[in-house]
Amino acid sequence: MSNILEVRNYSQSYGGDIKACDDVSLTVESGDIFGFIGHNGAGKSTTIRAVVGVLDFDEGEILIDGHSVKKEPMECKKITAYIPDNPDLYDNLTGIQYLRFVADVYEMDPSERDAKISKYADMLEITDALGDLIGSYSHGMKQKVAIISALIHSPKLLVLDEPFVGLDPKASFTLKEIMHEMCENGSSVFFSTHVLDVAEKLCNKAAIIKKGKIIASGTMEELTGGQSLESVFLEAVNE
Amino acid sequence: MNKSEITLLRMLLTASSPFNTLKYGKDKKKRGTAVGQIVANIILFLILAGYEVATAVGYAYNGMTKSIAILCGITVSVMAFVLTFFRIDGTLFDFDGYDILMSFPYKAGSVAKCKCIYLYVRCLHWYLGLSLAGMVVALAYGGIDILGAILWTIMSLFLPLIPMLAATVAGTVITGITSGFKNKTILRAAASMTFILLVFAGRFLLEGKLREEEPSMSEILASMSEYTDRIARYYPPVKWFSDGTVGNIASCILLVIVSLVLFVSVFFVVGKRYRELNSALKSHSSSKDFVMKSSGKRSVLSAVVFKEYRRFMGSSTYLVNCGFGVVLSLVIGIAVMVVGFDGLISTITGDAPIPQGIVYPAIPFIVYFCTGMVSTTTCSPSLEGKSYWIVQSLPLDRKKLYQGKLIFNMILFAPVGTLVTMLMCIAAHTGLINTLICMLLSIALIFFSSSWGLVCGIRFMKLQWESEIEVIKQGTAVVVYMLPNMFVNMGLIVLMIFLGTKVSANILLGGVLIIVAALGLAAYKRAMRLAVIRG
């Protein structure tokens, strides 16, 4: 399998000596659902923001499908989709205006664009609200629009920061189904979560980050070794 | 601009358009605010165009029709520079949605470029309002022909670009220098204010230099055209604009080409460091050395005031836009002690032949130009933004919340306003009673501005915004507050000077004090009612 995401010795420091991320290395292969687990402030979001090209970084190299995030950001962004933990969408646009904007950015054909929007909006049960202003949406509805916007251009790598926060149970289930479907089609998913049960059931690989350093990484079987992910995680972070 | 950049620009404009809210919004309150925003913008447009028409007609009436183009060029350039400088920080940097926007396949330079063009388009009607109003007068008085009018219209689209780029570079440099520091918010605000003060000082120096060349006021009035020409000499784009309006196509082309070349060059450089700067601004390390210390109990009101203080200090955009009046007041206070009251008035009025004594009754209103043109109460209700749920869910009396906001504005402006009024009165030797009444009037004016600001702030509260600048600088509340405030204050200065020649200054000031206090009280009562109804 080919490597979709490679993070090599990535480090990020704030204000001199304080390192938010220290020598982080991980690899996501084609078809992987990779869970990124850690305490609040451990460095998950910082790593994710560097991966999607939002945050500049000091040391290391991040490659998406062989392209350097630093040197070839456009090539990376064209095949990646990102959903932040708190989707700050444009409140004064309607859901459909926002989704069509995203599709236009990825230069999608209008018929394909509308078909995909309809497909995912129906799956996430938000079709009826797409004509309303995003400002009138609940957090979960905004999250659903963000998810649709990330899926419509069929990215090779889907990066999500705490994707299940605010989603109703049905939408959470649908998102997991979509993740599986994507990976079966050769795409990969890299996401951070605090919900260890979800990570254990959903991911084939995971990494645990503590104070900016990866302290455990591998396939789910290698990580857990027969125990629950929760006990492995607590053991690792308490060391 | 390529196709995807046009897509981004179109989205940015739609996302901030009140027409989109009117078309798709279902919330009556938000639709009402959108209508208010449109009406306020139309009124402001008419005022600006009217101002330019009046000035241009004055020029034409005095046989200076050929200088109208220079007048328009200078006005538009100054306005473009000021509007951009105060807005560029919140437009290019530190805006919500940065993460999602930058994750799309856009080059960093494209995002920065689109954001700047967005700012240009959002302000273009102001620039065109000023420039085309001048053009109509120049055309009517025979200063230009049809070709000149066509070139004038074309050049009006490009004229604001160079000052906008200068302000963008200044804002970016300030952000670049300060983003590496721990207290970047305060440093950015301090650097921005220093820069503005330097620009002000530069303007006075330049004006002084021009006047040295032509020291007599009567001579200046006699050759006003030559005087404006000299200003244009220091700023070539205005010269090109002026020459273009009389049919010099080469000057017109020069203005367009230089503007475009500078635009491309600036965003090539800004784009190189755009992500780096935003990364530095948006990255915060969490402190690991906090030690819990005991703290005294605060009253609800002082807790709200403290919250407002922290909000104010936590945003460089808020700090610069609302704190600049305080700094400017202090600068004037120091200046009046150094150059004396007469020297200060001479500097402000450009050595106009005004007997200084008649200005004394207007002192509180002169100070009010610094302390009252901006009020934190106009934007602080909207600045609650997405965190509004916090105060909504707390067992906090809505009136107390807004009283806290009002008190914070009073604390910010009243001490400095009173101090500067006192210093000006001392420098002007107005006498003890007069000084005391002036100080009381200064406080009453700030109470009025706080209360009236609160009325506007609650009435036109906008909780959904992408960048703070939308509510601090562009909000309907700010426009509705500032316009009548500014024009009434200008009128009051003239009225006070006029009445001061007829009535005793103490009686006049005492009477005005009672009226202002009553207006302030009425505005306060209205604000408290609105707090209950809409807050």
For tokens 């055209």, the residue is B225
pLDDT at A187 over 60: yes
Which 8-state DSSP code applies to residue A62?
E
Q: What share of chain A is helix, strand, coil (3-state, %, to 5)?
A: 40, 30, 30
CA–CA dist A12, A46 (Å, integer) = 8
Q: Are B466 and B15 within 8 A, CB to CB?
A: yes
DSSP secondary structure of A18-38: EEEEEEEEEEEETT-EEEEEE
From chain A, the residues in CB contact with B283 under 8 A are: 12, 14, 20, 46, 55
Q: Name the residue ranges covered by the structural domains of chain B.
A: 3-282, 300-533
Measured in degrees and rounded to the nearest 5, phi and psi for residue B279 equal -60, -45
Residue B355 host element (H or E): none
- Put simply, the answer to whether A54 touches B285 (Cβ < 8 Å) is no
pLDDT, tens only, B447-486: 999 999 999 999 988 888 878 888 888 788 888 898 778 8
User: Which amino acid is located at B239 in the chain?
Assistant: K
pLDDT at B136 over 90: yes
Query: Which of A222, A182, A218, A179 has its CA nearest to residue A198?
Result: A179
pLDDT, tens only, B261-293: 999 999 898 888 888 888 887 766 665 677 787
Q: Does B97 touch chain A (CB under 8 A)?
A: yes
Query: Using 50, 70 and 90 to split pLDDT, how confident is the model at B386?
Result: confident
For tokens 């209508």, the residue is B35
**A158 pairs with which residues across the strands?**
A81, A189
CA–CA dist B420, B216 (Å, integer) = 31
From chain A, the residues in CB contact with B385 under 8 A are: none
From chain A, the residues in CB contact with B24 under 8 A are: 94, 131-133
Q: Are B138 and B69 within 8 A, CB to CB?
A: yes
Option in B98, B275, B283 nearest A14 (CB): B283
pLDDT, tens only, B18-51: 999 999 988 888 888 889 888 888 888 888 899 8
pLDDT, tens only, B434-450: 999 999 999 999 999 99
pLDDT, tens only, B321-347: 899 999 999 998 998 888 888 887 777
User: Which amino acid is located at B292 in the chain?
Assistant: M
From chain B, the residues in CB contact with A146 under 8 A are: 100
Write down the mean pLDDT value for chain B. 86
Query: Using 50, 70 and 90 to split pLDDT, how confident is the model at B228?
Result: low
pLDDT, tens only, B96-113: 788 888 889 998 889 999
Task: Report the gap between the CA of B456 and the closest CA in chain A (Å).
Answer: 22
- Put simply, the answer to whether A105 touches B464 (Cβ < 8 Å) is no
pLDDT, tens only, A78-133: 999 999 888 778 888 999 999 999 999 898 999 999 999 999 999 999 999 999 99
pLDDT of the residue at B274: 87
CA–CA dist B342, B427 (Å, integer) = 9
pLDDT of the residue at B464: 80
- Put simply, the answer to whether B102 touches A54 (Cβ < 8 Å) is yes
pLDDT of the residue at B137: 93
Option in B182, B283, B464 nearest A91 (CB): B464
CA–CA dist B363, B358 (Å, integer) = 10
Query: Which of B462, B452, B463, B457 has its CA nearest to residue B477?
Result: B457
**A67 pairs with which residues across the strands?**
A64
Mean pLDDT throughout B349-378? 82
From chain B, the residues in CB contact with A41 under 8 A are: 286
Instruction: Give the lowest-confidence range in A119-133, B59-73, B156-170, B399-413.
Output: B59-73
CA–CA dist B362, B509 (Å, integer) = 9
Half-sphere exposure at residue B487, Cβ-oriented, CA atoms within 13 angstroms: 10
Q: Are B148 and B42 within 8 A, CB to CB?
A: no
Question: For chain B, how many residues are written?
Answer: 535
Query: Which of B408, B437, B416 has its CA nearest to residue B500?
Result: B437
Encoded tokens for B392: 């909504």
CA–CA dist B91, B466 (Å, integer) = 9
Reported ipTM: the value is 0.85
Q: Are B155 and B138 within 8 A, CB to CB?
A: no
Query: Using 50, 70 and 90 to split pLDDT, how confident is the model at A9?
Result: very high
Q: Is A206 exposed, middle or buried (0-12, 13-18, 19+ CB in 10 A)?
A: buried
pLDDT at B206 over 70: no
